[in-house]
Amino acid sequence: MWATEVPAFLPFYLGAIIALCLNDKLRPIVTLIVPLIGGYLLWFLPEGIHWQFAFFDFQLTPFKADKLSIIFGAIFHIAAFIAGLYAWHVRDKMQQIASMLYAGSAIGAVFAGDLITIIFFWEMLALTSVFLVWARGTERAIRSGLRYLYFQILSGLLLIGGTILYVHAGGDISFGYIGLESTAGWLIFLAFGIKCAFPFFHNWLTDAYAESTPTGTVFLSAFTTKTAVYMFARAYPGTEVLIYVGAAMTCFPIFYAVIENDLRRVLAYSMINQIGFMVCGIGIGTALAINGAVAHAFNDIIFKGLLFMSMGAVLHMTGRMNGSDLGGLYKSMPKTTILCIIGAASISAFPLFSGFVSKSMVVSAAINEGYDWIWLMMLFASAGVFHHAGIKIPYFAFFAHDSGIRTTEPPTNMLLPMGLAAVLCIAIGVFPNYLYSMLPFEVNYTAYDTTHVLAQTQILFFSALAFVWLTLRGIYPPELRSINIDAEWLYRRLLPNFVTVISGYGRQIENALTTRLSVSTQVLLYYIMHRKGPIGKLAQSTVTSTMVSWVTLLLASYLLLSFL
């Protein structure tokens, strides 16, 4: 069928070119039509290689499909449509074109069958997404976008370097399992890890997502990190180090999210927490764990997008995002409040919501494989995410206290995609088999058994009880205008200060050396002038008799030596 010959990214790239030539009223239509066309083509796409050609000595495969790439391609098309509808009111050409190229690059990456094609789309992901941060136009957004771009460039350089070493060592250019048996494997691993927001490399996410436009953050939340999750699932399944990295990712963001005032930054930390479950599942590497990681990535795009859309609606209508400035909005934004609560229930893995049917797969895989401590960390993380995303987000935005803000519901184009995402959260939670049928491996798992339901319900109940008790006792961290020190302090404060100190010492040494050199130079010049210069001994005139005497002495010495 002709549809199989059309690369999945092509409709988005062509749509961006067409949108470039259209006016403000027609461009939003293109942003909705493109993912619909792409989704239609994807519906009929069979597994296999659909586009391959020779490039110098390499065989490139820009379009290859299997169950893993198809499920990521499907959710990326859904996310592009929902985010495009949410941004219908935007009349910024730069944002609209960048968002289509960004979505197309993510789709191109997951269908790429070779490392060179992945490098191209990897760089396009970085280049196009940064404009969604800069589009907000504030000084903070500009600086945040630059820091975001630095990390993305570093990731790209590591990927390029790792690919060169991998191919030079005899590795196949086709993209498949890579592992950590070589330096090239580690470089590529770190490249994926940066985009996956590994610990110490995660602040580009919390920094940029909180400063992007209300609509841009919805696009950002869907593509970059989930593309990295796909790369790990393809190239590093069963890599044990991912288990411990993922476990750390599930836990440490909780502490930052609880004390954070900016609610979109809270969601950014929450995203790292959820990605940790996916990374853990990929590291465990069993069919159940991989299925759980992929299913949770699918669900996270929907419920995290719903939460970012709800907070984007609050920002759009009030111009505020700090929990200390909000509260009482349920009175004037009741629909947004309900939709936000659905997203909060989903990310908290309430039974009958989407997060429950995927997160439990990863947790079950951990205990099945004997990772008891990892399992306990996941349970702690599950309770923590209910605190900072399930309770804190809706509570401080809509209920905590009456901030006195009176507004209206956001535009219809913002409510509709939020409603669509909410319906998907509930539908997947109630009927998980539809999602399970799309997963890479056959699923022999039942989410709704007594053990899973009771265990998760108990976690949620006691987590809620702890929140209420801490709040009533005044122990729960209040929403304050503050700056929380995170790993970014190392490169935003410590490193610049270190460079300043070293530069100061360097200038002192330079001044000392310059002074010493100046004195030495003057002494040398004095010596040359008085010994070799116009007034020196070699420049003085010598009488002929003296010259003859010296020549005679030299000749006599030579004759004497020759006789000997």
Per-residue pLDDT of 60-112, as tens digits, reads 999 999 999 999 999 999 999 999 999 999 988 999 999 999 999 999 999 99
Has residue 17 been placed in a domain?
no
Has residue 471 been placed in a domain?
yes
Token readout for 368 is: 């099945």
Same domain? 468 vs 510 = no
Has residue 66 been placed in a domain?
no
Q: What is the pTM of this model?
A: 0.87
Same domain? 354 vs 387 = yes
Beta strand spans in 474-560 (E)? none
Cα 59 to Cα 161, 467, 508, distances in angstroms = 19, 57, 56
Same domain? 430 vs 511 = no
Confidence of residue 475 (pLDDT cuts 50, 70, 90): low
* Higher-scoring residue by pLDDT: 551, 1: 551
Task: Single out the residue of 172, 67, 77 nearest to residue 115, CA to CA.
Answer: 172
* 366, 279 contact by CB (below 8 A): no
Has residue 475 been placed in a domain?
yes
Q: Is the pLDDT of residue 431 over 80?
A: yes
Number of domains in the chain: 2
Has residue 251 been placed in a domain?
yes
Has residue 201 been placed in a domain?
no
Which residues touch 400 (CB under 8 Å, ≥6 apart)?
323, 326, 327, 328, 479
R_g (Cα) of the chain, nearest Å: 32
Same domain? 457 vs 327 = yes
End residue of a domain, out of 457, 482, 507? 482
Stretch 340-354: mean pLDDT:
93
Same domain? 342 vs 433 = yes
Has residue 87 been placed in a domain?
no
Please report where in the chains the tokens 């939670």 appear, as a residue: 429
Measured CA to CA, the distance from residue 30 to residue 12 in angstroms comes to: 9
Same domain? 475 vs 522 = no
Percent pLDDT > 70 in the chain is: 88
Cα 281 to Cα 176, 216, 372, 433, distances in angstroms = 18, 29, 14, 19
Q: Is the pLDDT of residue 479 over 90?
A: no
Q: Is the pLDDT of residue 537 over 60?
A: no
DSSP code, position 237: T
DSSP code, position 236: -
Q: Is the dihedral of CA 335, 336, 339, 340 positive or negative?
A: negative
Question: What pLDDT sits at residue 402?
Answer: 81
Stretch 441-450: mean pLDDT:
88
Measured CA to CA, the distance from residue 399 to residue 384 in angstroms comes to: 20
Has residue 417 been placed in a domain?
yes
Which residues touch 369 (CB under 8 Å, ≥6 apart)?
284, 286, 289
Least confident of 143-147, 182-186, 494-498: 494-498
Same domain? 394 vs 313 = yes
* 323, 396 contact by CB (below 8 A): yes
Token readout for 209 is: 């997502």
Beta strand spans in 332-390 (E)? none
Same domain? 501 vs 381 = no
Confidence of residue 545 (pLDDT cuts 50, 70, 90): low
Same domain? 555 vs 477 = no
Length of the chain: 564
How far apart, in Å, do the first and last CA atoms of the chain sit? 106
What domain range is 506 assigned to?
494-563
DSSP code, position 58: E
Same domain? 353 vs 449 = yes
* 359, 292 contact by CB (below 8 A): yes
Same domain? 398 vs 250 = yes
Same domain? 271 vs 338 = yes
End residue of a domain, out of 453, 482, 511? 482
Which residues touch 401 (CB under 8 Å, ≥6 apart)?
327, 328
Longest dimension (CA), the chain: 123
Helix (H, G, I), strand (E, B) or coil at 115: helix
Token readout for 195 is: 């985009």
* Higher-scoring residue by pLDDT: 476, 431: 431
End residue of a domain, out of 482, 515, 549? 482
